[in-house]
Amino acid sequence: MNILVFVKRVPDTESRIRIQREARGIVEEGLNFVISPYDEYAVEEALRLKEAQGGAVRVVSVGRDEAAAVLRKTLAMGADEAFLVKDDAPEAYDGLRTARIIARAVERKFAGADLLLFGKQSVGADNSQVPAMAAELLGLPQATVVTKLTVEGGAATALREIEGGTEKVSLSLPAVVSAQKGLNEPRYETLRGIMAAKKKPVPVITLEELGFGPGEPSPGLEVTGLDAPAARQAGKVLQGDPAETARELARLLRDEAKVI
C-alpha cells in the first residue's frame, strides 16, 4: 500500500506564546517547535499499515526549511521518504490555501497514493479543515477524527467520534483519513533510526514546480486582529471547613454567578 502522510511543524503545546499585535503574528524566537501531536498518530498508523500489508510510507510537510526537522523525526520513526513542499509564506490561518498546495502536490508529485493520512487538526491554528478540504479538492472520500481504522482490499472502515457516540464510515480507496488520539500509541524514534534519518535526503518541492505563480495561492482571509486572551479576573478562593466552603460555593454560584 502506498501511503502519504501530511505533517506540520507547530509550537510545542507547553510553549508560552508571545504576540506581536501590530504584525498580527507570534514571536517565533525562543519557541520550541515540534511535529503536531495528531500528525504523530497519522505517521504511526501509516507505519503499522505498511508493516502489516507492505508498501511505502511517504511523508510530506508544507512549510519553511525548518520543517525539515519534523520530517526527519518521521524518517527516524520509520517512514521511507520525506518531502518538503517549500512555502515561505507566514502562517495565514487559512486552511484552503494549505489544502490547495497539498492537493496540487498530490496530483503532480504523488499520484497513485492509496491512503492520505493527516492529523485531525494542527495544534496552533486549530483549524480542523485541511484534510476535508484536500479530500474535496482531490475528489476523494474522507473520514475525519478517526479513532480506529481498518484497511482491506481497496476499502477502509473508520470509526469517528461524534457527540454521544461513534460513526462507522465506509470508504473506498483512495481516501483521506484524519487521526484522533486513541487511534494508536505513536512509537519513539530509535537511535538507529535517528542516525539513518540524518543520512537520508529530504527533497524540496517548490511552489513553482507545482504550477503556482508568484504570491499564489493567496490567502482567502485577512487577519484583522491577534490578541492575548482577556485575562480572567482572579477568582474567589475559599479555604477552611469543607461543609462551610461547600455551602458558600453553592451560594456564590446561585446568587453571584447566577449559573444554577
Which residues in this chain contact ligand FAD in the complex, by CB under 6 A?
Answer: 13, 37
Quickly count: other Cβ atoms within 10 Å of residue 148's Cβ. 15
Among 1, 26, 69, 89, binds other proteins (CB under 8 A): 26
Q: Is 164 in the site for other proteins (CB under 8 A)?
A: yes
CB of 54 to ligand FAD, least distance (A): 31
What are the residues whose beta carbons fall under 8 Å from the beta carbon of 29, sequence distance 6 or more? Answer: none
Only segment of 15-23, 50-58, 64-72, 189-197 that touches other proteins (CB under 8 A): 15-23
Euclidean distance between CA atoms 62 and 39, whole angstroms:
13
Only segment of 78-86, 110-118, 132-140, 199-207 that touches other proteins (CB under 8 A): 132-140
Q: Which is nearer to other proteins, 42 or 75 (CB)?
A: 42
Closest residue to ligand FAD using C-beta atoms: 37
Q: Which is nearer to ligand FAD, 1 or 123 (CB)?
A: 123
Q: Which is nearer to ligand FAD, 44 or 87 (CB)?
A: 44
Euclidean distance between CA atoms 90 and 81, whole angstroms:
26
What are the residues whose beta carbons fall under 8 Å from the beta carbon of 143, sequence distance 6 or more? Answer: 149, 156, 158, 160, 169, 171, 175, 176, 177, 178
Q: Is 27 in the site for other proteins (CB under 8 A)?
A: no
Among 29, 162, 191, 199, binds other proteins (CB under 8 A): 162
**DSSP-derived secondary structure letter, 133:** H
Report residue 149 as a C-alpha cell: 481504522
CB of 47 to other proteins, least distance (A): 20
Nearest to 117 by CA among 194, 31, 204, 7: 7
